[in-house]
Chain A
Amino acid sequence: MIEVKHLRKSFGENAVLRDIDLTVDKGDVVVLVGPSGCGKSTFLRCLNMLEEPDGGEVWFKDTQINAPKTDINLVRRKVGMVFQHFNLFPHMTVQKNITFAPVRLGLMKPEQADRRAMELLARIGLADKAGSYPNMLSGGQKQRIAIVRALAMEPEVLLFDEPTSALDPEMVGEVLELMKELARGGMTMLCVTHEMGFAREVANRIIFIDEGVIKVDKPPQAFFADPGNERLASFLSKVL
């Protein structure tokens, strides 16, 4: 579903990603870990061109998304993203946050989008917040609504960029729970996170990025039991 070949990205002198190769299949739940500044967020953002790669290829299904002629907006409809800081639109109600893009892009009629939004909100138990503004919600609620907003576009892949890092500890659970539910439902996901428990439980692959390349790519059990990489072993000893 996603194929990355020899991806390179630097910021000025700093080569963040040197040579990344990765193939993600439909239904994969890939968790990306690594020391801070290792480029895992940058890598994730290259997958929907929020960062433009300096070299290499990024493919989504049959489209090379970093080719100059590709209409990136069409790709982004199918590649949802959830941000560390939620990035809900503060001047719109929760419902409008969810329905704005699908309606604006002509994918749904307003009534249809409203109905879908209410369904999704009911699913996460926040139907009563439809008319509220984001500022009135807790961090956990905001993030769950941000996830629902991405879902309303009916994406084929969801990218999570540290979705729980900005949350108070007691709110982390509700967001992870929703993500687990999505994973169980067969959603293809790539997730940058520090939640090792989540990685162990939900991921089918965990990837360790260091020095701009993928150093380790293993299923969770093997990943934790047999890191096979000195830097990863030292990283794990710090975070576990």
Chain B
Amino acid sequence: MELYEQLAQMARAGEELSLWQEFYFKFFQAFLANDRWLQYLEGVGTTLLVTALALALGILLGCVVAMIRVGHDQQRKGRKNPLLGAVNAVCQVYTTVIRGTPMMVQMLIMSMVIFSSSRNYTMVGVLTLGINSGAYVAEIIRGGLMAVDAGQREAGRSLGLGYITTMLFIIVPQAIRAVLPALGNEFIILLKDTSLITTIGGKELLYAAKGVINRTYEAMFPLLGTALVYLTLVLFFSWLLGKLERRLAQSDRG
């Protein structure tokens, strides 16, 4: 602390700092001065919260959309349910529009058009990310559902189980296991994409870094620090997902 004050004075007086003095000064300024690390920590908390909420929303939306689309495709010929047809069409429009437009644009539309009067930027961000992620999760899960051997459905149905029971207890668990790596990937993309909500005023990690930059006019350390935090989070969650995958694979063998 004293060293920092000393260096700050030297800098203000226009004295030349040595390389390591400058390094120490900027590092201290970026993370430790005024307890700025607390801002980052708060940012990380928000980032994780946003990720968790958006993930939950994305998986919920994705499962529902995937089930509707597969359910629609599996209807028996000549017995199409018109309501399901309509809902299926809505789902198709949803995935097409979301996957066909940039996340950034969706984010801006959500915050500046649809929720232009809301000041809860973080929650608008959660909503956007969740809706965006849902479209991708839907396609991943749909692929998984279709990859489960048709014999599994036939076996379930031939025991007298209904379509929904067969789906929920026999097909979906197997599909989830099959798509877990892809879902994990989607989760990691989502984690990193939370940084985009900075642009609409969501107060997550990058927002904290930008706050520090605006105050200190120094960009390197806050940005590198932010990158490092993201990297650490991603590595941690990748490790966790790997463990989960291995555990699920184990139950296959008993």
Q: Which residues of A contact B (CB under 8 A)?
A: 48, 50, 52, 73-77, 79-81, 83, 85, 87-91, 93, 100-101, 104-105, 131-133, 135-136, 146, 149-150, 153
Contact = CB atoms under 8 A, between A and B. Distances in A.
Contact of A101 (B77, B151, B160, B253): B160
B254 A89 contact: no
B246 interface: no
A73 B154 contact: no
Given A91-B173, A133-B254, A73 B155 contact: no
Contact of B174 (A85, A90, A93): A90
Given A83-B151, A132-B254, A136-B253, A77 B159 contact: yes
Task: From B157, B158, B170, B252, name the one whose CB has the most chain A CB atoms within 10 angstroms.
Answer: B158
Nearest to B173: A91
A14 to B, nearest CB: 15
A73 B160 CA distance: 4
Nearest to A73: B160
A155 to B, nearest CB: 9
Contacts of B254: 93, 131-133, 135-136
B169 interface: yes
Contacts of A52: 76-77
A132 B76 CA distance: 36
A90 B254 CA distance: 10
B159 A153 contact: yes
A89 B160 CA distance: 15
Interface string B154-186: 111111111001000110011001000000000
A89 B161 contact: no
Contacts of B162: 73
Given A104-B165, A133-B252, A135-B253, A80 B170 contact: no
Interface size class of B (residues with CB under 8 A): 20 to 34
Nearest to B165: A104
B171 to A, nearest CB: 10
Given A88-B155, A89-B174, A105-B161, 13 more contacts: A52-B77, A73-B160, A75-B160, A76-B159, A81-B155, A89-B156, A91-B174, A91-B177, A101-B156, A132-B254, A135-B252, A135-B253, A150-B159
A104 B165 CA distance: 9
A81 B170 contact: no
Nearest to A93: B254
A105 B77 CA distance: 27
Nearest to A76: B160
Contacts of A93: 254
B149 interface: yes
B251 interface: yes
A50 B76 CA distance: 10
Task: From A85, A90, A136, A146, name the one whose CB has the most chain B CB atoms within 10 angstroms.
Answer: A90
Given A73-B161, A77-B160, A153-B160, A89 B252 contact: no
B152 interface: yes
A133 B251 contact: yes
Nearest to A84: B151
A79 B253 CA distance: 31
A10 to B, nearest CB: 12
Nearest to A85: B151
Contacts of A81: 154-155, 158
B233 to A, nearest CB: 30
A167 B115 CA distance: 62
A99 to B, nearest CB: 11
A83 B174 CA distance: 19
Contacts of B149: 85, 87
Nearest to A131: B254
A101 B161 contact: yes
B154 A91 contact: no
A146 B156 CA distance: 12
B151 A87 contact: yes
B161 A104 contact: yes
A133 B251 CA distance: 8
